[in-house]
Amino acid sequence: MNHIYLIALGSNRPTSRDGPPRKVLQAAADVLTDVGLLFHDLSDIIETPPMGPSQRRYANAVAIVETKRDPESLLALFKGVEQIFGARRGQRWGARTLDLDIILWDGGVWDSPMLTIPHAAFRERAFVLGPAGQIAADWRDPITGLSVRHLHARLTRSKPAPRGASAPGCRNSSRNMRNP
Ligand code: ADP
Ligand code: MG
């Protein structure tokens, strides 16, 4: 049986082969297609100017893909593809060529030591919810029961933080690339 997933792609490091982060994401989508993922939809790639000490430009996008793989198998594939692109882990503000995350799937909740679906941080990440609103606005989070559209509105409507503090979902306070 095939499954439908909402996945997130992120990059904050150019490569000599692919170019800037947005090109890295396009190359990653090509690789994922080559290994058998069927892309139903790909959001616009959003680019975020550098924030925090890393001074790096981020590119983020989400996609709806179809595959026979179960979540653990898809995660294993993602880790392999991240390695191909030279992912470097363990640096809080360091370069990360490619980050592939599973946000939602059509099977509801998945919770294992290596994998949590829905992705634990996606409700606080505007760079996931924004692009997801383009292609999966009506998809419901099985935990809160709220749609992607609703989650995005809730996040962007949240009160601005006091001066000098980091806003929720801001890259200064909530990394899109968690420390392993
Ligand atoms: P982030 O989740 O912020 O992208 P990382 O990419 O560093 O952070 O992920 C660290 C670990 O999180 C991965 O090795 C993986 O085992 C685990 N993980 C748990 N849930 C998920 C998920 N839904 N998608 C991707 N990785 C996940
Ligand atoms: Mg990840």
CATH of residue 146's domain is 3.30.70.560
pLDDT of residue 168: 47
How much of the chain exceeds pLDDT 90, in percent?
Answer: 68
pLDDT band at 173 (very low <50, low <70, confident <90, very high): very low
Q: What percent of the chain has pLDDT over 70?
A: 79
Residue 38 falls within a domain, yes or no?
A: yes
> Is 174's C-beta closer than 6 angstroms to any atom of ligand 1?
no
When pLDDT is averaged across residues 65-74 and rounded to a whole number, the result is: 98
Say if ligand 1 is within 6 A of residue 18 CB. Answer: no
Model pLDDT, residue 32: 98
Bridge partners of residue 160, in order along the sequence = none
Answer whether residue 106 is part of any domain: yes
Identify the domain containing residue 97 by its residue range: 3-155
Query: How many domains does the structure of the chain reveal?
Result: 1
